[in-house]
Amino acid sequence: MISAKCASILTPLVVFSIAPRTFISKEPCIFLASFFFYHFLIFEHFSVALLIYLFRQDDLATASSFPFPVDADDHCESPLDAYKDLDLILRRICDGFPKKNHPSDLAIYDPYFCDGSVIRNLSSLGFSNVYNKKEDCYKVWSSDNYPEYDVFITNPPYSADHIERLMRHVTSSKLASRPWFLLMPNWVHKKDYFTKALDDAGIKPFYLIPKNGRRYVYVPPRDFRSKKASDVHKKSSPFMSMWFCYGGTPEKNASLVDWCHRCSGAAWDVARSKSALRDLRRKQQKQKGKGKA
């Protein structure tokens, strides 16, 4: 069926095509004005349709520019405040290296590329030596081209089995006792694959949770999800997320946890175990309830 908008444009054209010559000869100015007006409408609607088509092609081109399959809903950049919450800890780790005299000396590896903001955000905090490239990290992990780095930091895609594959990787011997920090939803610690990966490797991470129920808000790049009608898809924080952390070895991890507990003025709370995480979340919920009362 023809839409009302199409009918409003086509009807005058049909009338003009069958209009008697007497009408055209008697009222040439009115006819010509109407003729050009409706042609302008046609051009305007065609231009809008063309722009919509080009935007869609741009989205497809952007997705196809990745050398691996992507899910547009996975493409959200981690906010700067999430990295600010790691700032003090990264500086503490940097101080532990004999030849790392400045944050820019600390080599950081983020395997999951989105739009490159991780480099900009960390660089703004002084950590400018960041490896984050548009490459298939799973192929890199199984190749001889594994990058050199001091600290592993990432916010992985949440779809498919990405988090499970990530957990298998960070608990493998590939990391060679290097610290890792994973920004993930709080529900990950309840997953069987998470528990299994940690138990198999004998690793006990700790957790950094933003204080006062603060949520990290993730923003998609310009060419991903920005054309959906709902603003929820433009800036997203559908669940609480937190940093899953490990110091690299049991000794370094215990030392880092103790330091975090003594760190005053931090914008986060620290939990050294799942049970402590549960108690902390209950405490935060009570505090949030008192604030509303």
| Tokens (6 digits) for 252 | 């370094």
Q: Residues 75, 225: contact at Cβ < 8 Å?
A: yes
The pair of three-digit structure tokens given for residue 73, joined into one six-digit string: 């809903």
DSSP H or E stretch at residue 42: helix 28-64
Q: What count of residues does the chain have?
A: 293
Write the DSSP string, 211-232. GGG----BB--TTSSTTSSSGG
C-alpha to C-alpha distance for 129 and 104, rounded to whole angstroms: 6
Query: Do residues 159 and 68 lie in contact, with contact meaning Cβ atoms separated by under 8 Å?
Result: no
pLDDT of 227-282, one tens digit each? 444 444 455 566 789 999 999 999 999 999 999 999 888 999 999 999 999 888 88
pTM for the predicted model, two decimal places: 0.73
CATH code of the domain made up of 72-292? 3.40.50
Can you read off the two tokens belonging to residue 44?
């305007």
Beta-carbon contacts of residue 170 (< 8 Å; ≥ 6 apart): 152, 180, 182, 197, 246
pLDDT greater than 60 at residue 2? no
Question: For all residues of the chain together, what is the average pLDDT?
Answer: 79
Find tokens 């002084």 and name the residue.
126
Q: Which of 38-47, 183-192, 266-275 has the lowest mean pLDDT?
A: 38-47
- On whether the CB atoms of residues 9 and 38 are closer than 8 A, the answer is yes
How far is residue 128's CA from residue 203's CA, in Å, rounded to a whole number?
29
pLDDT, tens digit (0-9, with 9 covering 90-100), for 89-110:
999 999 998 888 899 999 999 9
Residue spans per domain, the chain:
4-64, 72-292
**Measured on CA atoms in the order 259, 210, 110, 200, is the torsion positive or negative?**
positive
